[in-house]
Amino acid sequence: MTAEDQIKQTVTSNDVVLFMKGTKTMPQCGFSSRVAGVLNFMGIEYTDVNVLADDGVRQGIKDYSDWPTIPQLYVKGEFVGGCDIITEMTLSGELDTLLTENDIAFDKAAADKIREANA
């Protein structure tokens, strides 16, 4: 299976996927840590893919999304964005809307706490 096939299978067979450096329990870069922290705090169930474990996936995900940086978040097979976009969407409430529209469970009170802490 090619890296592209592996990536496509992962993003289409899981509701929420985060391609990141490290894992959801042990991120290995600040940007990955920030996005995983938001998802973890909001109680979102997601699949984490450690791009550091496979060079083919590390480059492949950049080609797949045509996005040059890691982390990358996918919801229901669609690329959402990287760290800055996810941060902005969380603070604006757009992430709540995206999750709700896609029937992804999350803790609304936790999302509100993130916004309150950053107001």
Q: What structural domains and CATH numbers belong to the chain?
A: 3-117 (3.40.30.10)
- The pTM for the full model equals 0.96
Tell me how far apart the alpha carbons of residues 80 and 51 are, in angstroms, rounded to a whole number: 17
Q: Give the up-direction half-sphere exposure of residue 90: CA atoms within 13 A in the CB hemisphere.
A: 31
- Per DSSP, the three-state class of 116 is helix
For 94-114, how does the pLDDT look when each residue is reduced to its tens digit (9 = 90+)? 999 999 999 999 999 999 999
Peptide bond into 27 cis (omega under 30): no
* Mean pLDDT, residues 12-22 taken together: 98
For 48-94, how does the pLDDT look when each residue is reduced to its tens digit (9 = 90+)? 999 999 999 999 999 999 999 999 999 999 999 999 999 999 999 99
- Per DSSP, the three-state class of 16 is strand
Residue 102 has a pLDDT of: 98
Residue found by looking up tokens 């999302």 in the block: 111
Q: Which residues pair with 71 in a beta bridge?
A: none
Helix (H), strand (E) counts: the chain: 6, 4
